[in-house]
Chain A
Amino acid sequence: MSDLATASYLAQADNETRLNKTLRPPFDVVHRFSAQSIIMTTIAAILLFVFLSPILLVVAVSFGEKIEGASWVWAFDPSNYARVFVGIGWPDEITLLYAYKLGYTLAYAVLGSLIAIAFAFPFTYFLSQCSRPVQAAWLVFILASLSMSEVFIVMGWDIMLSNRSGLPALFKATGVTEWLKETGWLAVLKDWGLANPRNVKFKTSQMATVLTMAYLVWPYAVILLYAPLSRIDRSMIEAARTMGAGSFTVMRTVIVPVVRIPVMGTLLLLFVYLLGAYVTVTYFAEPAHQTLPVSIYEAIRGATLNAPFGAAQAVVLLSTAGVFIFASLWLSRLAEKRGR
């Protein structure tokens, strides 16, 4: 029996090879196979060189050793990492300067992405209910604002928040400042770091930093939420309505459970994006409250010029991002499974 099965299998395999061989003339096969493999190999080489090697280089350089007054040399020196977490004097003393920077990086990114999602979610939900042409028009608007460079956005917010023109000037002109002074709110704002004795002051402040970051990723949030929200089966909502659910109940019992995982995934992606925010922080956060990207820049191009230490900070940032990217991939895979 098993011999028979083997024989029939072999006959079949033989048959199939014969099929494949005669499907195209052999010469043609060789010719095209090589043309195609040349293209794919070239592309693979480009990808390895330009796409992957920079990331590996960052990791490699991060173990390098800085020579005082000169450049740096290759080494296997984990002290750069120790410096990020516990300071250069460790183990004799512990400086948490860079650990704090990491902390600010995370805090700004978490707050910024949460605020962005909170406003983007209802917006996108309403958007997905519009007609297709209206959606397309809104999407053009969202994409245009999404592609605005961080530089331009910071410029706009800077004008809006600056003391000479913008909101503080508006407050003064309309008498809000006077009113704040009389009611004592100005003193409260001053305690929060949002005012000086004469007027409100939004720059520099952590609030300005976080709000600008939220602004920065809001269009991304809409774009990322758009896919899952616009794929919700409308008849499901209608079914819930016929069973007596109001809009809020529909949102709570149908929409949110369906899109919970994509929303988490979006949150993680926004968070990762904000980890790397540079211009916003240099502009709106005071030096004591600045983040890793700023000190990475300082180390690599700026004043301190210590490439290995900059690279080590970049690796820390990268690993943080990596953890969250994997989490979001895992979530999206989970969502796909649920969807089936």
Chain B
Amino acid sequence: MIRFESVTKRYPDGTVAVDGLSLEMPDRSITVLVGPSGCGKTTSLRMVNRMIEPTGGRILLDGADLREQPVHGLRRSMGYVIQHAGLFPHRTVADNIATVPRLLGWDRRRARARSLELMERVGLDTAMAGRYPYQLSGGQQQRVGVARALAADPPVLLMDEPFSAVDPVVRKGLQEELLRIQAELGKTIVFVTHDIDEAIRLGDMVAVLRTGGRLAQFAPPDRLLSAPADAFVEDFLGADRGIRRLSFFAASGLELTTAPVVRDDAPAGDPAGAAADRGGAPYLLVTDAEGRPLGWADPARRAAGDRELVPYGRTFEAGRGSLRSALDSAVLSPTGWAVGVDGDGRVVGVASQEAVAAAIRAAHAAGRYPEAEGADDADARDGGAPEGTEPAGVA
């Protein structure tokens, strides 16, 4: 555990970068420091590996004051990922990753084997081992940066705006990769960003800092969205925090109906069939033989032999998805009905916007964390949180 005890950084010219910061960053979880520029988030991060020394207070790592530890050894025990990756341009991908192992005195062969192993872990083709950084895309460079930080298997990972310089699509991929790696390795990660969405997406705990280096709020992301401490935090969270909070409610509580679901090869049925027989749905959801959705069909026209289908929009994962993805699916669907699927993309059932709204009301009424712990956007938390590191556990 990393513990800040009223840590202050005051520069000789009087500027206060960090002002009396007290925090406990739990083990094996991601703590995000987020805030506008000049809030001291990077300064706070760099005090953890003593690239910057505090002028007041102290920082403890597993109960021991950081200042009592030899600085180079301390740094080699903490992975560091920086914006733009900061790779060594004159070293190959494999040599970049092997940097800390080599500093620790590993022999060449062992370090190289470790490099290749890590390239696979971060999703890089090992054929790139001999390439130089300039031959990689920004996203690939950042993957190398993450692999390099993990090389000596440090218990602590410090990440300073690591994904800020890549485009949004690549950033999303890197975030997913980080969550996947974290689920496997369970590092103690301190993550700095100015992007509140990234903070909410990645953080088990989020510390919102305000200009002048003061802590505005320290809470799990769900608590942050539901109960911002003050106007600054609320403003920083942005306009649609209510919608975003739905990411933390599992869609498993949503009642789905299979009444309007028909297989494409099924007989057309009664054209005048009552809407009640379709669970109130005005349309039929047509699936293929495996149960994967094809599109919506008007029952009357379908009975008349018209096979034309209306696109079904976006599905959500009924088991692991969040109410946010269910709502999104319902809003995007041309029929106003959300299509829930299982992990293989087979239809589990459909729900109307009204049903989604009811589930949201029920979730709010429950006023607690969702039953499916660690539930989130199914595509955001691929693989789910590892046991014992769910946000609820660290409150």
Q: Say if A and B assemble together.
A: no
